[in-house]
Structure 1
Amino acid sequence: MKQEMFDVAIVGYGPVAKLLASLLGQKGWKVGVYERFSEPYPLPRAVHLDDEIARMLQSIIPKNELERILQPVPDLYEWQNAERQLLLGLDFSQDGISGWPGHLFFNQPELERVMDVACRKQPSISVHMGNDAIELKEFEDHVELIVKDIQGENRSIHAKYVVGCDGANSFVRKNMDHTITDLGFVADWLVVDIVTHEEREWTPMNLQLCDPARPTTVVSGGPGKRRWEFMALPGETKEDLNNEEVAWRLLEPWNITPNNAVLERHAVYTFKALWANEWQKGRLILAGDAAHLTPPFMGQGMCSGLRDSMNLAWKLDLILSGKATESILETYTVERKPHNRDVVEAALFLGNVICVTDPEAAEKRDEVFLTGGVPEFPEFPFLTKGILYQSDDRMNNKYTGKLSFQGQVKYEGKTGLFDDVVGNGWTIMSPVNHPKKVLNEEQIQFLEDIGVEFIEISESSDDKEALSDVVIDVDGKYKQYFKETGLEAVVVRPDFYLFGGAESLADLPLLVEDLSKQISRFLITATV
């Protein structure tokens, strides 16, 4: 039996796997990816991502290429009742903290195509299509994965870690001890994607029609495309809904017919809310839908999986480089599961507003919204556990675990978004002075060992621009960010979350000391 050796083997080749593989490949780690289908899935699935996810994709895909395939939202995301009265308008047109529009729509096959290019350009990544995972054996120092190709030939893959990015019916999860938390939400929806023959202006661009006669979602499917989602009514079966004739009948009131549009696909999905309680056991790890299923009402299903990849990548890099022990992977579930749980529960909150088919209940709901009694929406979650600054009365902990800011900067003669010009990874940044000036040699050595970049960010001036270690705040947005937060220094993790922030640069050593204490629990002293 042919044998292959990798640092990490990934089962599945959707967006979650592509991002994880690309990030590990950028660090030079050998990654083998095994996908049971011979060809990329050609039809759309996810359609929405936010600014945080766009920043993640920016780390593997050129900005101009991303801008070509992502469509920002120009107006409100409207929620209307059956009489088309506005119940709620969410402003989706604002820019997010991550340097991108807060909400973007896309066509998944096109996104996956450019992600595939990013993967395959890394010489240490091997992508194997048409390879079905059939057996897993875990040993003390590696995992053996057996795959069968389309010719029926078996191959043995030895990897230090195996990551299951293989969807809701995950092969890896089935081979890993785990339990499931199921919130009991189940709803069948017919998802229909169309391409119109001629360009049309959609007003509103994105709509939730909260009509008890047929709750319906109408959103962008990416440039030139459109998506409808129709909820199954009580008594309707999947078979009742899932045919082309029904799709066209439901589209007709929206002036979408075979004469003016192409039906790209129709499929019935069962929306669920659940997660595995264990996302990592030994050398087996779960990510994306293999670890959790999120109802689509916030457009966060794929986003949650990409956050998994971003979190995993920097921790696996520390382990594979010999700097950290495997125990750092315990923080993966600790950090990601509560965040994902909050996303799922927020999506359910919205689902309970939308998925109302009883006319009397819908009337009561509408009255609450129309009389100004709109229920308070859950705040979008941030990290609350894991490798984060531990509370101290002297520090501002309000921003710990929240996303860091990205804006336009100038550095070493180049101008662009911070990550493109300066790079990403562990970063310590201050608008007051160079961070190293308040740190001792031992702290600086520790930070350099884990790959921290030290950044002084400043307003543009001839004196400042002449300095090689100063990043110029091109449009004043960093100045605004630090003024609004009241911070003089931030410590940013490789997944763009704040480890912590200091209101005074003089307090930065306290942050670094705490980071050292936390990270040192996992570090291999002889290496670092």
Structure 2
Amino acid sequence: MTQSYDADVAIVGFGPTGVIAALTLAKNGVSAVALERDQDLYPRARAVTVDDWTMRIFQDLGIDERIEKKIEPQRALRWITYDGTEIMRVDRPLSSLGAKARAYNIYQPTMEAELRAAAQEYGRRLTVHYGARVTGIDQDADGVTVTSTDTTTGETRTTRARYAIGADGGSSATRSAAHCRLLGDTGDVTWVVIDCRVKRWWPDRDVLTFWSDPQRPVVDIALSAGNHRWEIPLKPAETPADYPTAAEVWPLLEALGVTPDDVEIHQHAFYQHHTRMADTWRRGRVFLAGDAAHLMPPWAGAGMQTGMRDAHDLGWKLARVLTGELPESWLDTYEAERRPNAAFYTRLAVDLGRVITQQDTDTHPPLNAPPALQAGWLRGPVGDTSLVGRMIPQPSAGDTTGRMARLDDLLGSGFVLLGDDTDPADLLTAQEKAGWDALNARYLAVRPKTAHTRGPDELVDLDDVLLPWLRDHGVRAVALRPDKFVAATDVSGLAVPA
């Protein structure tokens, strides 16, 4: 009996994680249908930043330039006390990943609207049903059936897909239907988040400031498009009922020296911080991503971004499995790679929270940690002395026809082996090359800009970045995955990872 599917993949939830999943699947040639409970975009700004790793994902999806117009570079971060003592400061370095800045301030509703606009351009390959509340998820050996109810008409719809992704947030219906448990804790402190429209500039407005204090720590951050946010904890005797309107909120800002001359309060809401992770991110053909899989405090600015990275990792693998380019066993690498990364950023957020609340004034967490994988589809040791699991830097490069572009634009979206002034295929055994050929890998020699190219399969290191990067680690060749992470080097062996 021939199966009939509405799409290759059903996505439950169409927030940032769901949109990136949908864009990644569609870009890689498979169809997706998204089911979103809300009719309209969520109006509150939750996430506040994206970095150059996330921008590189946007670049892969062909949307980085349009997103960049909606966000603004972030200059620096600082931790200070109310008497003006600076505990720690981090000036944002230049990006090595091809973005114009290391980090950006965002206004989430504006950025998310642009992401959804990009999704609309995929036409029939990507369908979104808004106002669809998912009430059931059932799977069998051949696919997944998602049942939803139209929140306006009450009509029931069933959607049949080969796989499903739950990107439906912390209260995920997908997680419940898949019988996954969310483990961890919720903080006992309630925070008021105050979003404001800027009316005039003030000194250091563009520096993300953490007011460190054991009683009343504050996050003070510029958002893009003329918005600004403060996040302030309520005291033990206070409740959200004490702050029903902006009039009651104003004294909190005035205590920081903020006046109605500076801003207009746009909205305020109350949150508690969660440190939780699902016991498993997959049940058969159903996967969890983003807040459905993990929840973390906001201090590292990584919650939304971790979800988008989940979606991109899962998306390019699912697409290649569905098109027959990769075996189904590749899907086992999703949680193996993404869980350790989510755990890293959760620990980082917790550590930063301890600095902000002055529980720990001696720790200096690694705010500029480069993108890295600790496990998964890799060959060889990972760590500071190895390139395995690292994302390759992205300088400007040239090809043999004289074209100059960012590296990723010349590498394409498949598997690639790069050699230091040599054809990397020459470093492979016949068996190793057969393994990479089965993945349709390209083999490119990277030449210095001081030399002539010699053949069609070459790149030129215009910024003198790639060749020193390889040589600093004693590496002659690297094998890259489609997401631009190093899967293997000649130091540990260039055979296709298991």
Q: Normalising by structure 1, what TM-score?
A: 0.86
Aligned equivalent of 2:485: 497
Query: Which blocks of at least 5 consecutive residues in structure 2 are unaligned?
Result: none
Is 2:476 aligned against 1:476? no
Distance in 2, Cα, partners of 1:77 & 1:180? 32
Query: Would the alpha carbon gap of residues 186 and 402 (structure 1) be closer, same or farther in structure 2, given more than 3 Å must change?
Result: farther
Instruction: Say if 1:16 and 1:306, in contact at 8 Å, map to a contact too.
Output: yes
CA shift, 1:175, in A, is 0.2
Instruction: Say if 1:232 and 1:241, in contact at 8 Å, map to a contact too.
Output: no
Write the letter of the residue equivalent to 2:479. Answer: V
CA shift, 1:99, in A, is 4.3
CA shift, 1:296, in A, is 0.6
Distance in 2, Cα, partners of 1:61 & 1:242? 43
Instruction: Say if 1:382 and 1:403, in contact at 8 Å, map to a contact too.
Output: yes
Distance in 1, Cα, partners of 2:442 & 2:243? 54
Is 2:390 aligned against 1:389? no
Write the letter of the residue equivalent to 1:230. Answer: I
Query: Would the alpha carbon gap of residues 456 and 173 (structure 1) be closer, same or farther in structure 2, given more than 3 Å must change?
Result: same
Helix, strand or coil: the match of 2:306? helix
CA shift, 1:167, in A, is 0.4
CA shift, 1:481, in A, is 2.0
Alignment map for 1:383-462 (pairs within 5 Å): 383-391=373-381, 398-411=386-399, 412-460=401-449
Aligned equivalent of 2:114: 114
Query: Would the alpha carbon gap of residues 430 and 243 (structure 1) be closer, same or farther in structure 2, given more than 3 Å must change?
Result: farther
Is 2:474 aligned against 1:486? yes
Distance in 2, Cα, partners of 1:72 & 1:100? 8
Distance in 2, Cα, partners of 1:423 & 1:326? 23
Distance in 2, Cα, partners of 1:212 & 1:100? 36
Instruction: Say if 1:12 and 1:166, in contact at 8 Å, map to a contact too.
Output: yes
Distance in 1, Cα, partners of 2:422 & 2:487? 20
Query: Would the alpha carbon gap of residues 495 and 243 (structure 1) be closer, same or farther in structure 2, given more than 3 Å must change?
Result: farther
Aligned equivalent of 1:142: 143
Helix, strand or coil: the match of 1:250? helix
CA shift, 1:43, in A, is 2.9
Instruction: Say if 1:186 and 1:272, in contact at 8 Å, map to a contact too.
Output: no
Aligned equivalent of 1:59: 60
CA shift, 1:417, in A, is 1.6
Matched residues, percent identical? 27
What per-residue deviation string (whole Å, max 9, x for no partner) do you get for residues 170-204 of structure 1? Answer: 01001012223204544321111212134555356
Query: Would the alpha carbon gap of residues 420 and 225 (structure 1) be closer, same or farther in structure 2, given more than 3 Å must change?
Result: farther
Alignment map for 1:151-162 (pairs within 5 Å): 151-162=153-164
Query: Which blocks of at least 5 consecutive residues in structure 1 are unaligned?
Result: 519-528
Aligned equivalent of 1:221: 223
Instruction: Say if 2:420 and 2:476, in contact at 8 Å, map to a contact too.
Output: yes
Aligned equivalent of 1:130: 131
Aligned equivalent of 2:30: 29
What per-residue deviation string (whole Å, max 9, x for no partner) do you get for residues 421-453 of structure 1? Answer: 432332211222121233355543432332423
| Number of aligned residues | 490
Distance in 1, Cα, partners of 2:456 & 2:222? 44
Distance in 2, Cα, partners of 1:267 & 1:413? 54
Aligned equivalent of 2:251: 249
Query: Would the alpha carbon gap of residues 377 and 257 (structure 1) be closer, same or farther in structure 2, given more than 3 Å must change?
Result: closer
Query: Would the alpha carbon gap of residues 404 and 226 (structure 1) be closer, same or farther in structure 2, given more than 3 Å must change?
Result: same
Instruction: Say if 1:186 and 1:273, in contact at 8 Å, map to a contact too.
Output: no
CA shift, 1:469, in A, is 2.0
CA shift, 1:118, in A, is 2.2
Greater share of residues in helix:
1
Q: Once structures 1 and 2 are overlaid, which stretch shifts more, 317-326 or 108-117? A: 317-326
Structure 1 residue corresponding to 2:174, chosen from 142, 149, 172: 172
RMSD over equivalenced CA pairs, Å: 2.5
Aligned equivalent of 2:92: 92
Distance in 1, Cα, partners of 2:188 & 2:404? 48
Distance in 2, Cα, partners of 1:307 & 1:345? 17
